[in-house]
Amino acid sequence: MKQKDPIVEMFRSVTRWFKNTDMRSPAAHVLGIIGAVMHKVLFDWLMPKRYRNLSRREIFEIIFKSDTPAGKKFDVWLLVLIVLNIVLLILDSLLGSTDTMTSVAHKSLSFWVMKAAEWGFTLIFTFEYYLRIYCLKHPRKYVFSFWGIIDFLSIFPAYLSLFIPATQALTVLRLLRVMRIFRIFRLERFQIEAFHLLSALRNSAIKILIFMMFILVAAVILGTIMYAIESERNPAFKSIPTGIYWAVVTITTVGYGDVVPMTTAGRFLSVIVMMLGYSIIAVPTGIVAGETIKEYRMPGNRRRTAAQRDYDEENDAIKN
């Protein structure tokens, strides 16, 4: 009888376990526990007593309906908190770069005050995100909608910073939520114009992507040629990636000046790349401008329907 390989058997057992186990159940169980804890903390401890008995429908009216007095007040205060949070983030970066004359004790106090305030804002937005999910019959539609993703990205970097501290600065993504100001204050014309612009950018995306692929190929070729020309006489061009970096900086007309050619042939190639860069910059602008003109040449009703497509998707996501 052939002896079974224990490693192969273990692999088969693990494979069968993954095949027979619904991985969504553990995730749903964990999310259910988190939701229960947040609900307990929010409704039993943090929320004022007069709001604890609100029904889901009433919470929905306050959070999602900006055409009611309570809903508009909620949205306005939410915008104020977002702006204050961004100002705090900027001040935190300024205090973090103060000169050495500042006392260590003062730095430590300001640091902890700022961190406490930042986490206070994060908890407020986290509970608000939970309430948005809690009051919907079909929260999945909201979670994966445009605004649902933005709301999630506004709080996720703060928790990610517990493991990667540098990501704390990404909480600036909360500023994206300010775009709701068009809906809150009934600035329908601005909202429609914004959707026209987004539609033009969406229609231009494929063309611009193809164009950028050609630019990348050109940058690799030109950077490699410059490396071949300059590498023996110019220590700045120490590798092909450095040459590609120079090509990208030159094509985009940025011109940092940290890597420059020294030979006559290298400078001649630089002139060609610089002149090429001006024509290259105009192409994406022309593509977007052309799509924008096409957008406005559409019949009025059709143009309005296309522009409001994303807005209608948001409304579908929060239908109760």
Task: Provide the whole-model pTM.
Answer: 0.70
Encode pLDDT of 35-79 as tens digits. 888 888 888 888 888 888 888 899 998 888 877 888 888 888 999
| pLDDT at residue 99 greater than cutoff 50 | no
| pLDDT at residue 214 greater than cutoff 70 | yes
Encode pLDDT of 246-302 as tens digits. 999 999 888 888 999 999 999 999 999 998 888 887 888 888 888 878 877 766 545
Q: Of 167 and 311, which is predicted with more confidence?
A: 167
Domains and CATH numbers, the chain: 54-185 (1.20.120), 191-317 (1.10.287.70)
pLDDT of residue 316: 59
| pLDDT at residue 85 greater than cutoff 50 | yes
Q: Of 181 and 259, which is predicted with more confidence?
A: 259
**What DSSP string runs through the chain?**
-PPPPHHHHHHHHHHHHHHHS-THHHHHHHHHHHHHHHHHHIIIIIS-GGGTT--HHHHHHHHH-TTSHHHHHHHHHHHHHHHHHHHHHHHHHHHHT--TTS-HHHHHHHHHHHHHHHHHHHHHHHHHHHHHHHT-S-HHHHHTSHHHHHHHHTTHHHHHTTTSGGGGGGGGGGGGGGGGHHHHTT-HHHHHHHHHHHHHHHHHHHHHHHHHHHHHHHHHHHHHHHHHHHTTT-TT--SHHHHHHHHHHHHTT----SS---SHHHHHHHHHHHHHHHHHHHHHHHHHHHHHHHHHHS-HHHHHHHHTHHHHHHHHHT--
Identify the band that residue 100 occupies on the pLDDT scale cut at 50, 70 and 90.
Answer: very low
Encode pLDDT of 133-166 as tens digits. 999 888 888 888 888 888 999 999 999 989 988 8
Mean pLDDT of the chain: 80
User: Averaged over 181-201, what is the pLDDT?
Assistant: 69
